[in-house]
Amino acid sequence: MATTSELLTANLHDVFGNRDPESRRAAIERTFAPDVAFVDPDETVTGWDALETKAAALLDGAPGAFQFVEEGRRYVSASHGALAWGFGPVGDPQVRGVDVIEVRDGVIARLTTILAEAQQS
């Protein structure tokens, strides 16, 4: 059974940071509950297929140089975890956010993505 920390890694790198559709789908099925709820500022989707569609759309719409990098500490308990990230060219993230996961039976049952506000100049 994966730890909360391992699930945070799998979510960010093996699913949302993975541009290979076949290995991304395998990672989804081992990391998330079949009825996973994914909440982001745009919508809430449920299930493996919907999660895969969200990840593919995000990656397909981003330049090839964009990748996810972890920013800061992980916060974990047996049932919840949080991890800050940046998305963009290495060293120049264009988007920042935090993923909060809820763990049930060793997999992610709920994923909430919170985006950072744009910095004012």
Which residues 6+ apart lie within 8 Å of 59 measured at CB?
16, 17, 18, 19
Closest CA to 6 of 120, 14, 94: 14
The fold adopted by the segment(s) 4-115 is Nuclear Transport Factor 2; Chain: A, (3.10.450)
| Average pLDDT value for the chain | 96
pLDDT-based confidence at residue 1 (cuts at 50, 70, 90): confident
Asked if residue 120 has pLDDT above 80, the reply is no
Asked if residue 121 has pLDDT above 70, the reply is no
What is the predicted pLDDT for the residue at 105?
96
pLDDT in tens, 20-58: 999 999 999 999 999 999 999 999 999 999 999 999 999
Specify whether the CB–CB gap between 7 and 33 falls below 8 A: no
pTM: 0.94
- Strand segments, DSSP code E, in 1-121 are 32-39, 44-46, 67-76, 80-88, 95-104, 107-115
Please report how many Cα atoms fall inside a 13 Å half-sphere around the Cα of residue 118, on the Cβ side: 3
Specify whether the CB–CB gap between 87 and 93 falls below 8 A: yes
